[in-house]
Structure 1
Amino acid sequence: MENRVLRYFLTVAREGSITRAAESLHVTQPTLSRQIKDLENELGKKLFVRSNHSIILTNEGLLLKKRAEEIIDLVDRLGDEFNAIEETISGDVYIGGGETDAMRHIAQVVKNLQLSYPNRRYHLYSGNSDDVTERLDKGLIDFGILIQPAALSKYNYINIPAKDVWGVVMRKDSMLASKTSIQPTDLLNVPLICSRQSMKKTLSTNEFADWFGEVFDNLNIVTTYNLAYNAAIMVEEGIGYAITIDKIVNTSGDSNLCFRPLEPKIESGLNLVWKKHHVLSKAADIFLKEIQMEFSKSLTDE
């Protein structure tokens, strides 16, 4: 299975048409059709369902698309790393993480490094901890930002000098907006919008279950979310109250929303992690050294 054929396959999947894909790839339609047919024969699976106007990926095609994207990403990244071996001023750094204001610490380090390495590129991938660790384990990113507690046995890590504060985002005209903090009983009879990842963690760490206490099993969770931006839209439309971390959703003076912290307070620390026994690229290694220096300085200043 050649990388060229995988690129052909991904283009067809993206375009949803052999004709448009052939035009994009600058190859003839019969040539492209034959390559896709040969790929299906090689795998022994049908990858597309063809109709008069478009083609749709089968379940096997969807699986191949996911794996092909990972393979092509790795091949492209390997090429970039080899091209940058002799050019220490350039290179790429890949970072994955969830929504957190702690990304500002990463941004500050990037800004400092830009002065010495203006041609360096940084690629950010957003996702929950499962998404990030999967990409980290496959070598698709150099570093991951994980919310504590996290399984760290496979990784080297350093603590990020910041904590995420949990609370509730609500409309400013809501009945709980007059409160300065939110207690468990306040949320018993209101519709809640919760992060899928945080609720999953609840089952293993019991952090939120302990906070809610006896009312936990009686919560009215009407919506779950993966991105706080989407949760904020649901709150604005009056769907419910979103349990999330501070400084992710716009709750400034011109916003219709406000944030109220949980009481007792729940804070989550964060780790920057990278794979053990993994050789970092020159660009990633320089980034790590700068991170370690800046984070050590921040901890000393506290």
Structure 2
Amino acid sequence: METRVLRYFLTVAQEENITKAAELLHTSQSNLSRQLADLEDSLGKKLFERGSRKITLTEEGMFLRKRAQEIIELTDRTENDMKSFNQSISGTVHIGGVETCLMKLIGKSMLSLSKLHPQIRYDFFSGSIVELTEMLNKGLLDFALLVAPVDMQKYNYLKLPTTDTFGVLMRKDCPLADQTSIKPEDVKDYPVWVAHQQLGANVLSSWLGRDMESLNIISTFNLITTPAMMIDSGMGMAFTFNHLVNTEGTNLCFRPLEPKIEAELYLVWKKYDMFAKAGEVFLQQIQKDFSGMEQDASNISEQQE
């Protein structure tokens, strides 16, 4: 499959119309139709349902669209990285991460690096651990910030020199908001929002003392922004990290769990992976900054002793 034909395919899938797609691609309708027909013949699969007004994807077409997007993205990245060799340090660093306020640590390193190499750009993706590791394994991400536990066998990693705290986001008029912390028995009957990755992890279920599915789960979520608005309107409460939602001057509040759960976070990348120059200097900056933070923490500990 040629990348040119895959770009044709993706444009038609997006526009759902041969005429519009041909105009965007600056080619003729007949040429575009022929290219798509040849693609279907080469794969031995029907990719489109051709209606009188629009074209829609078959199940096989939807599968190819996902793979084609990944192929094109990786191809474009490779071309851009190759152009950056033997030039001034530039290019794009592709980073993914779970939602955590500790992303500020990464942001500080990015800011420091931008002063030295202003031509470096970043492409950031927020998602679940499953999404991030899948993209990392496929080469669509250079780095990912993940919450423990993580199987590190395929990765190199740096442990962040601090932890994040799990708790519950709720309205201030919720009866549980009067407590300084939330115990497992407190959430037995409350409607809750649970992140997708929390359902498959053992951290919260161990704290709860039973399966997460035993809770009154009203919805699962990927990112906390929208659930926070729903909770503000009175729709349940959510398990999340501290400081992800600004509760100052709002109807919301955060209460930590008891016993306390602190999550360790890691910046990971594939073993034996070779970075473009931008990714290489980014990692060097991160290693330098993290080492400095660990030293500061060690000095504070010694002073307290």
Give TM-score, length-normalised by structure 2.
Answer: 0.94
Match of 2:300 in 1: none
Q: How many residues align?
A: 297
Which aligned pairs between 1:128-277 and structure 2 lie closer than 5 A? 128-202=128-202, 207-213=203-209, 218-253=214-249, 255-277=250-272
Are 1:285 and 2:285 an aligned pair? Answer: no
* Per-residue deviation, 1:88: 3.2
Match of 1:87 in 2: 87
Q: Which whole-Å deviations, capped at 9, do the CAs of 1:64-109 have from their partners, x for residues lacking one?
A: 1111111111110111011100223211111111111121111111
Q: Which whole-Å deviations, capped at 9, do the CAs of 1:191-217 have from their partners, x for residues lacking one?
A: 111111012112xxxx22221226966
For structure 1, the 5+ residue unaligned runs are none
Check the 8 A contact 2:89/2:277 in 1, yes or no: no
For structure 2, the 5+ residue unaligned runs are 298-305
In structure 1, the residue corresponding to 2:22 is in which secondary structure? Answer: helix
Q: How many Å separate the matches in 2 of 1:122 and 1:80? A: 13
Indicate how the Cα distance of structure 1 residues 24 and 221 shifts in structure 2: closer, same or farther if over 3 A, else same: same
Q: How many Å separate the matches in 2 of 1:160 and 1:286? A: 18
Q: How many Å separate the matches in 2 of 1:300 and 1:130? A: 32
Check the 8 A contact 1:185/1:215 in 2, yes or no: no
Counterpart residue identity of residue 260, structure 1: R
Match of 1:62 in 2: 62
Check the 8 A contact 1:156/1:276 in 2, yes or no: yes
- 265-274 vs 244-253, which moves further: 244-253
Check the 8 A contact 1:235/1:241 in 2, yes or no: yes
Counterpart residue identity of residue 261, structure 1: P
In structure 1, the residue corresponding to 2:162 is in which secondary structure? Answer: strand
- 207-216 vs 11-20, which moves further: 207-216
Match of 2:121 in 1: 121
Q: Which runs of 4+ in 1 moved over 6 A?
A: none
Q: How many Å separate the matches in 2 of 1:214 and 1:22? A: 56
Q: Out of 277, 289, 293, which is 1:294 matched to? A: 289
Check the 8 A contact 1:94/1:123 in 2, yes or no: yes
Q: How many Å separate the matches in 2 of 1:234 and 1:263? A: 25
Q: How many Å separate the matches in 2 of 1:169 and 1:214? A: 21
Counterpart residue identity of residue 41, structure 1: D
* Per-residue deviation, 1:158: 0.7
In structure 2, the residue corresponding to 1:123 is in which secondary structure? Answer: strand
* Per-residue deviation, 1:167: 0.6
In structure 2, the residue corresponding to 1:72 is in which secondary structure? Answer: helix
Check the 8 A contact 1:88/1:283 in 2, yes or no: no
Q: Which whole-Å deviations, capped at 9, do the CAs of 1:123-167 have from their partners, x for residues lacking one?
A: 101111111111111111111111011000000001012312111
* Per-residue deviation, 1:277: 1.0
What's the Cα RMSD here?
1.4
In structure 2, the residue corresponding to 1:176 is in which secondary structure? Answer: helix
Check the 8 A contact 2:90/2:277 in 1, yes or no: no
